[in-house]
């Protein structure tokens, strides 16, 4: 046998090949096991850190602080989706009160209107989930928020600047939309007289102020529209017109 | 991570067939060859993620893991090297029966003969004639001089020729 013949015989072994489906499945397994291992190792790293902290007295205060922080964050997160009547709802109310307290004077009205909007969204969820028992406290919450917002808008010392008017206009528009949505679900909200009065006073004050200024033709047209909306008690529309004048 | 995966995926495609054949010739069983080859690539992927930049010689990297696994397989199980093959799964099914019989006979002979050689002869034959590695590449892979590899290859061919003659006599 020549060397060439021998090499040819050796090269017959090139016929040895793995099955194609096996090649594909092994490749998939390699990469999927890696993802699984990474998940496991992250969890075990976390457990190791906790075990290490437990075993060292010096880390115990830090561990206790971490647990308290974890409980606090968890409670806060869950409370933000709590509905009126839920166990964690008072926490949500405390957080909202804190936000109102921290808001500047000219932001307060818009922040409170935002909360009134949140109540309307809660009401939509309650009505959709058919949770009859939570309906009455939720309506009461909405009315309370609306009254608080109204009181703030009506305050003579309320520092209402063009930016605040813009924020209030946006919140009032959203409020109208949310009210419509809730009422379509059969929920009777009743009148929000105090809020309407406060908005009427705000619109009237703004119109009066604009009338004393020199306006362009476009602004004059928008002012006429605002007056019409005011007469029709469409305060949301009137605020939008006032915004157009301010932005011109 | 994406880059790691893509690079290793390409290396897998390049070497899976070669490593499988290398292992198959040594263990003579498709099932065991599949197990050891998949374990080779699993270990390789773990090491690759840890030391990607340190791995310069990819053939050496894969063959070293495969070689260690084969050694462990024989050592751990205290097995004898059994010579048999599953040729019905190897040969191209499109070949007709008569050709297949001749082909199987030749394949069986050369397979059996290579299995009887010592490991260093088996490896140099597989790398040079089946995996088409050059003498310098084999020298780099086996950490031997090129001259040493040439001598080894010559002796391996001589030993194989002798084994084939012996098998024919039987």
What number is the ipTM of this complex? 0.77
**Judgement on whether residues B145 and B75 belong to the same structural domain of the protein:** no
Judgement on whether residues B21 and B61 belong to the same structural domain of the protein:
yes
From the list A10, A16, A23, the residue facing B129 with the nearest CB is A10
- Residue B70 domain-assigned (yes or no): yes
Q: Is the pLDDT of residue B45 over 70?
A: yes
Q: Is residue B105 less than 8 Å (CB to CB) from chain A?
A: no
d(CA A99, CA B82): 79
pLDDT of residue B147: 93
- Name the nearest CA neighbour of B90 among B77, B100, B76, B102: B100
* Number of domains, chain B: 2
Residue pairs spanning A and B at CB distance below 8 A: 79
Residues B77 and B113 in one domain: no
Chosen for mutation from A18, A23, A24 (greatest number of chain B CBs closer than 10 Å) is: A18
Q: Choose between B77 and B75: higher pLDDT.
A: B75
In a domain? residue B147: yes
Region B30-55 average pLDDT: 87
pLDDT for B84 equals 44
DSSP for residue B130: I
Q: Are residues B118 and B52 in the same domain?
A: no
Answer yes or no: is pLDDT of A238 > 90.
Answer: no
Q: Are residues B122 and B76 in the same domain?
A: no
Position B95 pLDDT exceeds 70: no
pLDDT at B170: 63
Q: Does A15 touch chain B (CB under 8 A)?
A: yes
- pLDDT of residue A33 exceeding 80, the answer is no
Nearest to B44 by CA among A24, A44, A22, A26: A26
With respect to residue B100, please indicate whether it lies within any of the assigned structural domains.
Answer: no
For chain A, percent of residues with pLDDT exceeding 70: 92
Q: Is the pLDDT of residue B93 over 60?
A: no
The mean of the pLDDT values for chain A is 81
Instruction: Specify the pLDDT at position A88.
Output: 81
CB contact B157 to A (< 8 Å): yes
| pLDDT at B13 (0 to 100) | 92
CATH for B126 = 1.10.10.10
Instruction: Assign B15 a pLDDT band (cuts: 50, 70, 90).
Output: very high
- The answer, for B90 touching chain A at a CB cutoff of 8 Å, is yes
Task: Residue B22: give the domain boundaries.
Answer: 1-82
Q: State the average pLDDT over residues A192-204.
A: 85
B129 contacts A27? CB cut-off 8 A: no
Band of the pLDDT at A203, cuts 50, 70, 90?
A: confident
pLDDT at A234 over 70: yes
Q: Which of A35-44, B12-21, B110-119 has the lowest mean pLDDT?
A: A35-44
Identify whether B131 is part of a domain: yes
Q: Is residue B47 part of a domain?
A: yes
pLDDT at A65 over 70: yes
Model pLDDT, residue B85: 46
Confidence of residue B156 (pLDDT cuts 50, 70, 90): very high
pTM of the model: 0.47
- Looking up residue B51, the CATH number of its domain turns out to be 1.10.1740
The Cα-based distances of A227 to A163, A165, A200, A220, A234 in angstroms read 21, 16, 11, 11, 10
User: Highest mean pLDDT range out of A94-98, A103-107, B117-121?
Assistant: B117-121
Q: Which of residues 26-55 of A touch B (CB under 8 A)?
A: 26-27, 29-31, 33-34
């Amino acid at each position: 046998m020549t060397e060439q013949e021998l090499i040819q015989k050796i090269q017959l072994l090139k016929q040895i090949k793995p099955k194609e489906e096996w090649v594909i499945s092994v490749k998939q397994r390699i990469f999927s096991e890696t993802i699984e291992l990474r998940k496991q190792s992250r969890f075990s790293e976390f457990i190791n850190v906790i075990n290490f902290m437990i075993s060292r007295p010096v880390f115990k205060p830090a561990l206790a602080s971490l647990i308290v922080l974890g409980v606090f964050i968890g409670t806060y997160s869950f409370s933000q989706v709590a509905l009126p009547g839920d166990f964690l709802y008072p926490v949500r109310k405390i957080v909202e009160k804190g936000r109102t307290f921290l808001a500047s004077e000219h932001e307060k009205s818009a922040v409170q209107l935002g909360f009134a909007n949140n109540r309307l969204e809660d009401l939509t969820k309650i009505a959709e989930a058919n949770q009859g028992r939570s309906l009455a406290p939720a309506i009461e919450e909405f009315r309370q928020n609306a009254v608080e917002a109204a009181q703030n808008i009506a305050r003579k010392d309320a520092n209402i600047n063009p930016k605040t008017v813009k924020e209030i206009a946006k919140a009032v528009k959203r409020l109208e939309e949310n009210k419509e949505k809730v009422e379509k679900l059969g929920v009777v909200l009743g009148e929000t007289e105090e809020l309407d009065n406060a908005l009427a006073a705000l619109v009237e004050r703004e119109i009066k102020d604009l009338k004393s200024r020199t306006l362009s033709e476009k602004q004059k047209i928008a002012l006429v529209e605002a007056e019409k909306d005011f007469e029709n008690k469409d305060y949301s529309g009137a605020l939008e017109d006032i915004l157009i004048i301010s932005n011109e | 991570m994406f880059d790691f995966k893509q690079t290793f995926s390409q290396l897998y495609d390049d070497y899976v067939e070669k490593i499988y054949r290398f292992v198959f010739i040594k263990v003579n069983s498709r099932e065991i060859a599949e197990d050891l080859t998949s374990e080779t690539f699993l270990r390789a992927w773990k090491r690759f993620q840890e030391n990607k930049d340190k791995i310069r010689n990819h053939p050496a990297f894969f063959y070293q893991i495969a070689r260690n696994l084969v050694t462990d397989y024989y050592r751990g199980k205290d097995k004898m090297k059994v010579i048999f093959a599953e040729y019905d799964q190897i040969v191209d099914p499109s070949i007709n029966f008569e050709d297949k019989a001749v082909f199987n006979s030749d394949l069986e002979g050369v397979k059996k003969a290579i299995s009887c050689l010592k490991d260093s002869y088996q490896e140099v034959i597989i790398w040079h004639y089946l995996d088409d590695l050059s003498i310098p590449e084999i020298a780099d892979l086996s950490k031997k001089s090129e001259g040493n590899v040439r001598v080894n290859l010559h002796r391996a061919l001589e030993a194989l020729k002798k084994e084939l003659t012996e098998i024919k006599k039987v």
